[in-house]
Structures are given as structure tokens and as C-alpha cells.
Amino acid sequence: MNNFLTPGVQKFIYYCTTAFISAAVLVMFVVKPGINDDIHSKFADMVYGNAYKPFVYRTLLPTAVRVLSAPVPGSVKNSVAEKIEKTGALNKLFKKLRWEKQYAVEYFFAMLLMFLSLWGFSIALMHLFKLFYKTSLWFGYSVSVLALLGLPPMFQYTSFLYDFPALLLYTLGLIFLYKQDWKKFLPLFLIACLNKETTILLTVIFFIYFRKKLQNDLFRKLLVAQISVFIVVKIFLSLIFKNNPGTFVEFHLIDHNLRLLTGYDLTLAVSVLVIFLLVFAKWFEKPKFVKVTFWMIIPLAALTFFLGYLDELRDYYEVYPAVIILISHSIARLLNVNLLILKER
């Protein structure tokens, strides 16, 4: 049995397992609360650029769906919609999900891209973990599984098309940033800015971690490049969608967050407490880069206090990779797993 489970076989099992779990998590994501729950970011409106600001600014995946579905003839789209209408199970499914049948092709491409983003995120996170630790193959793989299984409890209020691409792109950004692979980091940074504005947190991490590690000239050039890309993308998107309804940001301090002070979910509070205990256990052993990444929870929480829902955990996806890695370290110590901390670059 041990001879059969060669590293190649284990890798095959790993990819199959994470693909299956990714598909299951995606189903949960689109069923409840679903991607058509928020009237300001309806699926078709996002894809065709008619959604409310600021959601319409997060255009990477919606634009990709529009581009991929554009070559499909209208007759084919109508034929698919008619087939769904005549097929009882599919018709019920579309009604349950609140999906418009005329956009079935667009939904197919969106589901495919979200699945690939989620699966890619789980694999990227495993590779990020391996930059800081050397451990058994199975434990390294288990980090991906933990990351996927931890996502469904965070699905609340609504699901957005850009959530899983944000997880993938941000994690890849952390990998390229830590490896100082600027030729890959800067193009990815540009792409990620088209997906979500919180990509700028990668620049904050860059500033904190590398300001004393890089030569001053290189550091300044890279910093200016990132800030310039972010500003240009924001101006570009603002001009394109200037006539869309909505505002540049949404304020939820009074209508939601202040109400949380009068009561809280005990289960959520206990879960967050346990997570923080695992994050901070053996804190001084843990890699500095990962800890810097985790501290982005401070600006995220500050922004969310005014502009988001404090209890909406998806608002903290940018610190999720760091949380998983920090928790994995603590779990390894609790289980006496052999975990060698690699020297940081």
C-alpha cells in the first residue's frame, strides 16, 4: 500500500480531492445566498456593465464572461434557453437559483471561471505555505483542504462574482511578492486591480516588508509603479462606469454596523475567538511575512466599519491566506507534526 502511494499518486489524489471540494464549495456559494441576491449587483447587470457602483468597478470576471460568451450565436443561446425551459429539472434549478434562462451561456462561463479560481486558490495557497515551511507531503496538501472547508461559513448576505478571483489573485500576488518576482507581480497586480480595489493592500505589505530589504532605488521604483497602476485603473474604471447608478463607495456604519453593538451572534463570536487563539499561538515562531500579511486585517476592519458589514466575513478574504497558514502552524504543533520553518528571504 505504501509503495502504491508514491508522490505522483498522492499528487493525483490531491488534485482530484481539491477539485471535488472546490466544486462542492462553489455549489454552496451559488445556492445560498446566491449571486443574484443583491439587486445592485445582479449577474446580468455585472456581466454587461449595468450594475450599480461600486460593484460594477470589480469587472475582471464579468468582463471575461462577456468576452467568452460574445462569439456564441444568439440562435444557440435561444436554443439553450428553450431546452432549459422544456427540461423540468433544469427549469426548476434555474428558478431556485434565480438565474435568467436567456443568460444560460453566460452562467456556464461564470461557473467555470469561478471554479477554476477557487481550485487555483487552494493550490496557490499550498505553494505559498511551502515557501515558509518544510513538512510532510500530506500535511502540505491538507492546508489546501482546510482553506476550502473554511470558506462556506463565510458565505452570508450575498455572493459576488469577484470573490473567488480575489482569493486566487491575492494569493498569487503574495507568492510573487515574497519571491521578489517583479516581472510576474506587476502584471498580476494590474489584473487584480481590475478585480477588486483591495489589491492595494499588497502594496502596503510591500512597503512594510521590503522597505529595508531592497535597494532604495529599486524600492522607490516598484512602489511608484504599484501606486501608479492602482490610480490609473481606478480612473479608467470610474470614467467607463461614470453614468452607472450608485456611489463610489457605500456607507453602512449607521444602517448596519452600529446595530451590532446591541447584540451579536454567540456562535460567530466563539468561532472568531478560537481562530484568533490559533493564529496567535506560537506567534514568535511564525514567519514575519505571513504576520505582516495578517495585520492587513486592521485597515480592512477600519474600512469595513464604515463601508461594509463588520460581520460579513467575506470582507476579510485578503487576510484569509495568512490566517490559514498561521492556523496550520499551530495545528502542526498541537499534533506534533514535523514542521521545519524555512529561513525567510
pLDDT value at residue 246: 86
pLDDT, average across residues 114-140: 96
pLDDT value at residue 240: 95
> Amino acid identity of 207?
F
Residue with cell 492595494: 200
Estimate the crossing angle of helix 60-69 against helix 104-130, to 10 degrees.
Answer: 130
Q: Which residue has the higher pLDDT, 157 or 78?
A: 78
pLDDT band at 154 (very low <50, low <70, confident <90, very high): confident
pLDDT band at 8 (very low <50, low <70, confident <90, very high): confident
- Sign of the CA dihedral running 136, 141, 145, 147: positive
d(CA 30, CA 36): 9
pLDDT band at 4 (very low <50, low <70, confident <90, very high): low
Write out pLDDT tens, residues 202-252.
999 999 999 999 999 999 999 999 999 999 999 999 999 999 998 766 665
Domain boundaries, position 148? 7-341
d(CA 121, CA 167): 6
Percentage of residues in the chain having pLDDT higher than 70: 92
Percentage of residues in the chain having pLDDT higher than 90: 76
Write out pLDDT tens, residues 157-188.
788 999 999 999 999 999 999 999 999 999 99
pLDDT value at residue 194: 97
CB–CB of 54/250 below 8 Å? Answer: yes
Buried b (16+ CB within 10 A) or exposed e, 274-298: eeeebbebeeeebbebbbbbbebbe
Helical ranges in 150-181 per DSSP H: 163-178
pLDDT value at residue 249: 67
d(CA 210, CA 178): 9
Write out pLDDT tens, residues 83-112.
999 998 999 999 999 999 999 999 999 999
- Whether 1 is in a domain gets the answer no
Write out pLDDT tens, residues 32-57.
888 998 899 999 999 999 999 999 99
d(CA 133, CA 325): 10
Is a pLDDT exceeding 70 seen at residue 255? no
How many structural domains does the chain have?
1
Which residues lie across from 339 on neighbouring strands?
135
Residue with cell 457605500: 250
Write out pLDDT tens, residues 267-319.
767 888 899 999 999 999 999 999 999 999 999 888 877 776 766 778 889 99
pLDDT value at residue 313: 76
d(CA 114, CA 108): 10
pLDDT band at 1 (very low <50, low <70, confident <90, very high): very low
CB–CB of 46/161 below 8 Å? Answer: yes
pTM over 0.85: yes
Residue with cell 510591500: 206
Helix (H, G, I), strand (E, B) or coil at 8: helix
Which residues lie across from 341 on neighbouring strands?
133
Q: Burial, 225: exposed, middle or buried (Cβ in 10 Å; 0-12, 13-18, 19+)?
A: middle
Contacts of 266 (CB under 8 A, 6+ apart): none
CB–CB of 223/206 below 8 Å? Answer: yes
- Whether 126 is in a domain gets the answer yes
Buried b (16+ CB within 10 A) or exposed e, 173-182: bbbbbbeeee
